[in-house]
Amino acid sequence: MWLGPEEVLLAGALWVTERANPFFLLQRRRGHGKGGGLTGLLVGTLDVVLDSSARVAPYRILHQTQDSQVYWAVACGSSRKEITKHWEWLENNLLQTLSIFDNEEDITTFVKGKIHGIIAEENKNEQPQSEEDPGKFKEAELKMRKQFGMPEVEKLVNYYSCSYWKGRVPRQGWLYLTVNHLCFYSFLLGKEVTLVIQWVDVTQLEKNATLLFPECIKVNTRDNELYFSMFLNINETFKLMEQLANIAMRQLLDNESFLQDKSLPKPRKPLKNISALKRDLDARAKNECYRATFRLPKDECLDGHTDCTLWTPFNKMHIPGQMFVSNNYICFASKAEEACHLIIPLREVTIVEKADSSSVLPSPLSISTKSKMTFFFANLKDRDFLVQRISDFLQRTPSKKPCSSDREWKWNLADPGCEEVPELPSSSPLAVSPTSALSNRPVSFCAGEVPTASQGLLKLFRRNSEELLGPKGAKEKMKEESWNIHFFEYGRGMCMYRTAKTRELVQKGIPENLRGELWLLFSGAWNEMVTHPSYYADLVEKSMGKYNLATEEIERDLHRSMPEHPAFQNELGIAALRRVLTAYAFRNPTIGYCQAMNIVTSVLLLYCNEEEAFWLLVALCERMLPDYYNTRVVGALVDQGIFEELTREYLPQLSEKMQDLGVISTISLSWFLTLFLSVMPFESAVVIVDCFFYEGIKFILQVSLAILDANMEKLLQCCDEGEAMTILGRYLDNVVNRQSVSPPIPHLHALLTSGDDPPLEIDIFELIKTSYEKFSSLKADDIEQMRFKQRLKVIQSLEDTAKKSVVRAVSSDIGFSIEELEELYVVFKAKYLMSCYWGNNRAAAARRDQSLPYLEQYRIDMEQFKELFIGLTPWSCGAHTPVLAGRLFRLLDENRDSLINFKEFVTGMSGMYHGDLTEKLKVLYKLHLPPALNPEEAESALEATSYFTEDVTTEVSPFVSELDFCLHCESQETQEDKGRRNENGPEKEEKGTSPQDYRYYLRMWAKEKESKKETIKDLPKMSQEQFIELCKTLYNMFSEDPVEQELYHAIATVASLLLRIGEVGKKFSNRPMRKSEDCKGNNTQDPVSEEESPTSEQSQNSAVEQQPQADHEDKTCGDAQPEKTQQENQSLGEGSGEGQGSPLQLLSDDETKDDMSMSSYSMVSTGSLQCEDIADDTVLVGCEGSSSAARPTQRHAGADALIEAFSSWQAGAAVTLPLWRRLRPGNRLVYKTG
């Protein structure tokens, strides 16, 4: 590249001059390329260690004048080709002009101006860069691409100086972190180290400190264990590596990571030496943390945050913390954990104003809401800018107030001190509102169904109210009063101050009347519900009457959802559960429906109306329990791994015993997936759900640890898994809630108490209290960190399972070994993933369906297949190889969707690597027939096949005698006649009765399952154009062979002989029809068949006339067409019988019995080859001068030479790895000529 002229004082330091003229020098940097000795090694090492190689190109051009000691750098290049191009331009365009100048200063001025002009012209043509990456970073990115061979689309995120430990020796170098790869390069005293690791291959990533490796990062793959240390900022590096590896795991898990929008908010002030992509990833990490902390919708983007203080009226204090501002929310989090959290939706804000500053409250900001609450923030550093940003977001916020007719949410916007709105008694029949909480329209999601309840089902099906008047009722009233006092002091609704006091009230149990309201608040579901007021109603309407796999599974599980509860023993509860589950399955087809969702949703419906239950389910599946309810329950497996890790940390004595028994994997899934609802009495489990919605998965883990801790002594004495499960099951069965005002619901757990001793009851609130006392040190941030670590293990384990399943499924039919198939699968999958993040479009990611079997999940298109074929095939054809790859792809693509799976891929490659000579020749033959052959490559072959239907199994051999042929015609016509006579009889009866239909399909299925070995006789015939394409391929295969000329001669000899045989056959093509008619007259007396002959002949002639061939000889090509209807096959067969029978009379009996002669002749049938259409580059060896006796000998010698050459070439082919794709049954080869 051209450089703005820069002054260079020491031209010879660290550089070697390779070319020179009176005005310019071309120099190479020492240490680059071969040679250089010790000085070169030192320079190369310094360049790598000091990162000068990222800024200094290995070649440069200097401008000089004779009397001056100052040089000017005018160009540099990363390769000799690039710098030579610049050097030649200078010699051709400037040397003669510069020789005219007398003054050296004028020469230098002219050169500078010329170079500046070239640079300006180049910059004018370049498009402006959208990224503001600093120059140094750009240079590092260019070096990374050159060093590791990365394409332009692979973006560098950041790079760090560090050491890679190879054995016990540290290699100082540079670590490059790209979106999809981890790369390292080191050059130390002539020793070069290059590492390239895909993030999807990383199985473990951890930061640790040992005696040998002080504070290092350990990267594990399936094959290697790598250590990197001596980072300037190891925490930043490790955090970025974690984030990139996590993105890669998400790509393996679903397609959204490939398809998601990369346009993330950028900082207003560009940072030095940081790429725009690094800033984007930092912004994404902050967004995810912000949404998780405040339970906000997944499309909420953080705009910025600043330090401040918040005035809290409940304790009259200014609490230090941070204010977060996004496009729809203002949030506050105190620095002291759980001192105070606050969420203010902008839709609730009425006034934002700057208050007067004072020494006590510098830069205060007041925010008022519709519920008459006012929040005071102070100590804001940039208050004016913050107010402007909030005002901008307020202008974009829709002013429409979402409607809600639910009685609970009339409290939300009220003053904290307002009176409660009276509610109808639960026993009143008017408790079922005729209007849905979804909207103001009548509730009729489906005509004829029971209307939707406007409140929780528990209020409609409370079986007795005696408990409300007793001690339990008094306790419940006290709880409600405690919450009302809390609402008065801390506010109610979304703008409530959330403090440690709030958590204490949740631990004591939420009153049943407030449970639905507080679940919606704490989970964040209320935010999504009010911003999508008619979303659920539209989903229900859209999904009504539609059926798929998810709806079938839902129907199966409806009556298994809390069948012991009266709410789900009638159509009202069942219909509500059906609508909620079906609506979610249509909202999120990736999850659809998973078992355990029905149990959780049925509990949500007890305390919420349908719309509220739906949005709680959304919050549960998509935010609070991510990936729990997909087909592979990845999220549950990840948290199971966390549970095992926490057990080792907190209960080390029990951990080893539990691992030996294998209990943790069994218990954790049922505990986590259903939030203990399926293993604990309902009244107790619902208290667990209360705490879960406030605390998240942290609470589930600490309660699980408390349960194991309470049963430690008994578990340590267990002998097997069954005994341990019985102990835990009995314990959970007897966890009771003595404060519940609802009548106890029978618990249907299978493990009941046994023995004479009465069961020991455990109070649920005591269990919760114990879990906080012993395991409250668990932090949400630590759990997220462990989730990342376990996600790597779980997803890689699932990928290994998928690989083994696929290899096991295809290994029985393939010639490759298990190890080779596993390596092939890795290569195949890597090619698919490359196309996902390097392809121009994202169609590859979009076409992956996680619900498909493992074998069908990774599929590649033709371009990817060509790249694999070129790298793996033993059939190297030079420039013709991509053409051959395209043909094989079309041959293997049976369903014509332009994609092939792994089984098809390795089937094709296996035939090329492990098939015998005949099988390999069959593959080669098929590659020159439709569908492998492109219409453009052999146009006439495509036209021929378009006139005929499916392949007829009763194809007649071209070498039968006239008598045999006539008998064949008679039997064929007799079958046709029988078919007509039975057309309206038994056939229709069979279609009309189901038993015959089933038997028919069973027979067809049995035939399909039978593996039919393809033989030479099954292969279709080849036209002249196809045959010439085959000869071209053979020519290309033997290029650069030591005996190339001999092989060319053998191919040309065989090709010319076969073409000449076809020409001989043409001379007899005018007799077959007449002979066939005589045959039919003598041997067949069916009048129907007699009428068919001219019709068939006419049909054939009309078909041939449609072919756009200029030469009249093309009318005889009918016999080369592979597929025919019955009538066309009959007339065509009659013609070929005589036409091909005539040459047999010229041969002796011995020659007629020769398989080689027969198969050679069958390959090019009558009229199928025309010498006029032979391509210009086709070499034909003439044989006119030879005697008739010598021709067979010459033909056999050429064929033997060809087959022998092909065999030796196959034997010497280097076997790389797997081969190609599955060969289609229906294409065949006729090269039996040797």
Give the single-character DSSP code of 408: G
d(CA 1190, CA 1194): 6
More confident residue, 210 or 438: 210
pLDDT at 1221 over 70: no
d(CA 1137, CA 961): 8
In the prediction, which pLDDT does 921 show?
87
pLDDT at 10 over 70: no
Residue 311, SS3 per DSSP: strand
366 within 8 A of 351, measured Cβ to Cβ: yes
For residue 726, give the nearest of 767, 673, 679 by alpha carbon: 679
For residue 1072, give the nearest of 1118, 1141, 1159, 1121 by alpha carbon: 1141
pLDDT at 958 over 50: no
Residue 444, SS3 per DSSP: coil
Q: Residues with Cβ < 8 Å from 120, sequence gap 6 or more?
A: none
Pseudo-torsion of CA 572, 573, 577, 578, nearest 10°?
Answer: -40
More confident residue, 42 or 295: 295
Tokens of 1133: 């067969």
Query: What share of the chain has pLDDT > 90, as a percent?
Result: 31
State the average pLDDT over residues 246-260.
71
Q: What is the pLDDT of residues 361-381, one digit of tens each?
A: 888 999 999 988 999 999 998
Number of C-beta neighbours around residue 325 at 10 A? 18
Q: Residues 202-210: contacts with CB within 8 Å, 24+ apart? A: 202/245, 202/248, 202/792, 203/792, 203/793, 203/796, 204/789, 204/792, 204/793, 205/238, 205/241, 205/242, 205/245, 205/789, 205/792, 206/789, 207/234, 207/235, 207/238
d(CA 673, CA 680): 13
Mean pLDDT of the chain: 74
pLDDT at 21 over 80: yes
For the purposes of burial, counting CB atoms within 10 Å of the CB of 1080, is it exposed (0-12), middle (13-18) or buried (19 or more)?
Answer: buried
888 CB-side CA count, 13 A: 34
pLDDT at 348 over 60: yes
Tokens of 842: 């994202």
Cα–Cα distances (Å) from 291 to 294, 690, 693, 818, 1161, in that order, read 6, 21, 15, 46, 75
More confident residue, 845 or 733: 733
Backbone phi, then psi, for 312, in 5-degree steps?
A: -110, 110
Q: What is the pLDDT of residues 453-503, one digit of tens each?
A: 567 888 787 655 555 667 888 888 999 999 999 999 999 999 999 999 999
In the prediction, which pLDDT does 510 show?
94
User: In which band, very low, low, confident or very high, does the pLDDT at 831 lie, cut at 50, 70 and 90?
Assistant: confident
pLDDT at 124 over 70: no
In the prediction, which pLDDT does 503 show?
93
In the prediction, which pLDDT does 291 show?
93
Number of C-beta neighbours around residue 144 at 10 A? 23
State the average pLDDT over residues 879-896.
90
For residue 896, give the nearest of 930, 937, 846, 939 by alpha carbon: 930
For the purposes of burial, counting CB atoms within 10 Å of the CB of 996, is it exposed (0-12), middle (13-18) or buried (19 or more)?
Answer: middle
Q: What is the pLDDT of residues 748-784, one digit of tens each?
A: 444 444 555 667 889 999 999 999 999 988 888 899 8
d(CA 931, CA 941): 10
In the prediction, which pLDDT does 308 show?
94
Cα–Cα distances (Å) from 266 to 157, 282, 301, 395, 673, in that order, read 14, 10, 11, 22, 38
669 within 8 A of 595, measured Cβ to Cβ: no
User: In which band, very low, low, confident or very high, does the pLDDT at 418 lie, cut at 50, 70 and 90?
Assistant: very low
Q: What is the pLDDT of residues 641-698, one digit of tens each?
A: 999 999 999 999 898 888 888 888 888 888 999 999 999 999 999 999 999 999 999 9
Tell me the chain's radius of gyration from C-alpha atoms. Answer: 40
Peptide bond connecting 931 to the previous residue in cis, omega within 30 degrees of 0: yes
pLDDT at 432 over 60: no
